[in-house]
Every structure is written in structure tokens, then in C-alpha cells.
Structure 1
């Protein structure tokens, strides 16, 4: 057994890493980094979807508040157009619809917003958020 690494009688002493060890360790590091990058990408996609959903909920609630502020009467074309423009400004691919149900004793308005959302494997899936606002007493 050779204790000093550079002694003249020691021919099989290992002085450093071999190229194969370096390549294997870099490959393991690369696989780990790719996993971290893909998790970050998925997290960013989900954050974007969450932001879209909160914007949709905000716009649906703002329309319900606008209808209630109008004393539960159907809104004019200008109010609906302004709401749709604001919705298109915040979520360009979203479509909004408001339907008034006045046949029952308690009338209501159904507010629906539809938008495309990216899913796990970059599949675009259409989402719909619907709010039914009871109007009157």
C-alpha cells in the first residue's frame, strides 16, 4: 500500500477523476436540472390559469353588481358592450354572455364566460364559468 500518492514505487495510484466519471456526473446533473425546469414550467402555466380564473370571476361579479345597480332591469346595449370590451381587454380570448330569466316569481340573470385554458400537456381546453345572480326580492 502506497501512502504518499506520488511516491516512485506507486504506479496504480489514482490522481483525479476519469473522463467517464465526469460525463456520468454531468449527465445526472443534467437530468436533475431538466426535472426542475419542467416543474417550473408547469408551475408558471398553473399560475397563468389561476390568474385567468380570478379575472373571469371578477368580471362575472362586476356584471352581477352592474345588474343589481340597475335595479335588476335588463341592461342597455351600451352597458353590455362596455362590459364585453373590458372582458376582451383583460382576457382577449374570452367570450361573455348574459341571459335574463324574468318568467319566475324571482327573476335572475345567468352570466357565463368562456375562455380557452392550457392544460398539463399543452392541450387547450375550453373552460366556462357561470354565475346565476338572483334579482329582485
Structure 2
């Protein structure tokens, strides 16, 4: 009726050894999983840093474009906008031109005060407006790495320099 199978002692020992996981295999699996999780954490941190950098660059672009629009809107006194500005100078009360009528000189002071306030949105935000050959260059600088750097040469390869964005406009 039925067949009886006999196994040798050697075959039984090999069969028992191949069942389950050994401690070494479990430790290797945990090590591989840990390295993978560290990679995911590093990727998340890098993604967050790049997202913050892009946000600051977008804000700087908006701030520079806004000042270019202000210079074009008040072009009869555009030379009055030339200068270096720092976010720390924000908060000076130059009056508001929103509710009252301002002359062009008051508008310049109002525009600069609002621009300084916008520069506060960037870490160590600074602005500069220069003019050459009838063109105005508007530069926004900020401390992207938040390491208290102060260099203003705008060299992206020099960690001592602030990050810069410049646009040129004609009033």
C-alpha cells in the first residue's frame, strides 16, 4: 500500500540546517535596512534644503522685480533710488502714500521704506541699486546658508559671499 521512505542521517541534518534564519542573516538584513533608512533621511534633508533655497530665490526675484516696477513708475526721479539698502534699516516712518497723495520725492522714500521691509523676508537681506548708461541694476543679496557671511562680491563659489540675484531695467 504505502511506501515508507527512509532518510539517511546525513540528509536529515542538512534538512534541519536549512530551515529558518540565522542570527547573522538577521543582523545583515537589519544593517541593510538601517543604511536604506539613513539614505531616505538624507534625501529628505537635502530636499528640504533645496526647497528653502528655491523659496528664498523666488522671494528675491519678486523683491527685485517689485523695485524695478517702482523705478519705472516713478521714472522722472529714478536717480533718487540709487543706493545700498539693508533690511536692518526697515521700519523708518516715511509716511504712507496709499491713503494720501504724495509727490515724487515722497514716493521714492515710501518705495525705499517698503523695499527695506520686503528685504526683511530674507536672511541678512540687502539691496543695491546702481545705474550706468541709462540702465538700472537692482541687486538683492541674502545669506542663503545662514552662516552670517557678509561678502558682497556675489561669487557663488566663495562661501564668504552672500547669494545674489540681479536684474537690469530701463526706467
Alignment TM class, shorter chain as reference: 0.7 to 0.9
Structure 1 stretches lacking a partner, 5+ long: 4-8
The aligned residue for residue 22 of structure 2 is 18
CA deviation string 1:92-133 (max 9, x = no partner): 3211112244xx4xx222211111223xxxx67521111111
The aligned residue for residue 130 of structure 1 is 166
- For 1:100 and 1:77, the matched residues in 2 are separated by 18
Greater than 3 Å deviation, 4+ residue runs: 9-12
Task: Identify the range of structure 1 (72-81 vs 24-33) with the bigger mean alpha-carbon deviation.
Answer: 72-81
Q: 1:77 aligns with which of 109, 113, 125?
A: 109
The Cα of 1:37 is off from its aligned counterpart by: 1.4
The aligned residue for residue 64 of structure 2 is 60
Aligned length: 119
1:50 paired to 2:78: no
Change (3 A) 1:16 1:66: same
TM-score (norm 2): 0.61
Change (3 A) 1:125 1:100: closer
Q: 2:33 aligns with which of 25, 29, 33?
A: 29
The Cα of 1:72 is off from its aligned counterpart by: 4.7
- For 2:63 and 2:31, the matched residues in 1 are separated by 48
* Higher Cα radius of gyration: 2
